[in-house]
Amino acid sequence: MARKRKLLLLGGTGEALRLARELDGHGRVECISSLAGRTGDPVLPPGRVRVGGFGGVPGLTTFLINEAIDLVLDATHPFAAQMANNAYRACAETSIPRAKLVRPPWAPSPGDRWTMMPSVTAAAIFLRFHPAQRIFLTLGRQEIGAFVPLGQAIADGAARNGGAKWFLSRMIDPPDDGGVPLPPGELVLGRGPFAPEAEKELMQKHGIDLLVTKNSGGAAGKIAAAAELRLPVLMIERPPLPPGEVLDSVGAALAWININAV
Ligand code: NAP
């Protein structure tokens, strides 16, 4: 019997998890899932799983060669630009077929009050001059630091930002002790997806008047809730993707794997 084709599935998303489940028991493909190890209690996919960085492009290239990987499916988050670029470069060097699975971004509907932001830092600067006072931040632990100086500027008495700002920060795991300080306000922990009704309730309970979010795409109660409450949204735009094939659904990724695993 022919050797199964070895697939490295770069994960950390719901799509990667669904794909690993679909590939479990596949007759021609052996899937190795890779997680960065960022969350403390990740939902583990079936099959072989490895956790932690590879050590940049050289480390990933060595892994691909040592493991005799035949295919790479990059199903990391649309904002995981470093990993996406590393995968592109390591696969180019080893001539291993690679594709990027990325869910479609959200698009504004008529009446939505979105302002597009090129980065988290740009959103924090923009907010300085915006009158919103109670802000819902749905960003990762590493990214909220950009909003801390905003709180300090307020403490110093800067009036141009319309008074003291307060932040409801939501993330999956709490920030490490001694790590990035939180912006002034409240912290809620939780892993999505969150239903629109629950999101609306949370925003109303805290008197939120502006949402900051990355354009992650996928199921998102917060987007529907913000639209219903007519809240302004600072929408952080996605980083550019590396060159190569882009797939926009788990079904398309499965088809790509089946075609390439011959
Ligand atoms: P990143 O900035 O692109 O990656 C930073 C480094 O983390 C990479 O260079 C790599 O380290 C390691 N890494 C990232 N994804 C990995 C994977 N699947 N397997 C092994 N190593 C990985 O990515 P990030 O924004 O920190 O995201 C890390 C993980 O969280 C990704 O798997 C992503 O899908 C998931 N995630 C990210 C976001 C987000 O908004 N960025 C949101 C939800 C989930 P080495 O260079 O040492 O190989």
Same domain, 140 and 76: no
Same domain, 85 and 14: yes
**CATH number of 15's domain:** 3.40.50.720
The reported pLDDT for the residue numbered 162 is 54
Same domain, 157 and 256: no
**Is pLDDT of 3 > 90?**
no
- Please say whether the beta carbons of 80 and 242 come within 8 A: no
Of ligand 1's listed atoms, the one at least distance from the Cα of 81 is: 3
Distance CA 19, CA 13 (A): 10
Q: Which domain does 118 fall in, by range? A: 113-236
> Model confidence at 195, in pLDDT bands (50, 70, 90)?
very high
> Model confidence at 66, in pLDDT bands (50, 70, 90)?
very high
Same domain, 92 and 117: no
Same domain, 18 and 128: no
Same domain, 163 and 53: no
Task: For strands 134-138 and 166-171, give the pairing.
Answer: parallel
Which H or E element spans position 72? Answer: strand 71-74
**Is pLDDT of 175 > 70?**
yes
Same domain, 117 and 232: yes
The reported pLDDT for the residue numbered 173 is 85
34 touches ligand 1 (CB under 6 Å): yes
Query: For the whole model, what pTM was predicted?
Result: 0.92
> Model confidence at 238, in pLDDT bands (50, 70, 90)?
very high
Compute the average pLDDT of residues 205-227.
Answer: 96
**Is pLDDT of 31 > 90?**
yes
Q: Report the domain count for the chain.
A: 2
The reported pLDDT for the residue numbered 65 is 98
61 touches ligand 1 (CB under 6 Å): no
75 touches ligand 1 (CB under 6 Å): no
Same domain, 74 and 181: no
Of ligand 1's listed atoms, the one at least distance from the Cα of 85 is: 3
Distance CA 31, CA 253 (A): 13
Distance CA 221, CA 106 (A): 12
> Model confidence at 34, in pLDDT bands (50, 70, 90)?
very high
Instruction: Quick: pLDDT tens for 105-164.
Output: 999 999 999 999 999 999 999 998 999 999 999 998 889 989 988 776 554 544 455 567
Nearest CA to ligand 1 atom 34: 76
Same domain, 228 and 253: no
Compute the average pLDDT of residues 91-98.
Answer: 98
The alpha carbon of 12 and the centre of ligand 1 are apart by a number of angstroms equal to 7
**CATH number of 132's domain:** 3.40.50
Which of 19-33, 58-72, 177-191 has the weakest average pLDDT? 177-191
142 touches ligand 1 (CB under 6 Å): no
The reported pLDDT for the residue numbered 130 is 92
DSSP reduced 3-state for 146: helix
> Model confidence at 204, in pLDDT bands (50, 70, 90)?
very high
Same domain, 52 and 118: no
The alpha carbon of 168 and the centre of ligand 1 are apart by a number of angstroms equal to 25
Compute the average pLDDT of residues 9-23.
Answer: 97
The alpha carbon of 187 and the centre of ligand 1 are apart by a number of angstroms equal to 23
Compute the average pLDDT of residues 36-57.
Answer: 94
The reported pLDDT for the residue numbered 179 is 73
The alpha carbon of 129 and the centre of ligand 1 are apart by a number of angstroms equal to 32
Same domain, 157 and 248: no
The alpha carbon of 76 and the centre of ligand 1 are apart by a number of angstroms equal to 7
Compute the average pLDDT of residues 207-226.
Answer: 95
Q: Which distant-in-sequence residues (6+ apart) come within 8 Å of 194 by Cβ? A: 202, 221, 222
Between 96 and 193, where is the model more confident? 96
Distances from the Cα of 109 to the Cα of 113, 149, 228, 232, angstroms: 9, 33, 11, 13
Distances from the Cα of 160 to the Cα of 29, 61, 63, 168, 206, angstroms: 59, 50, 52, 21, 23
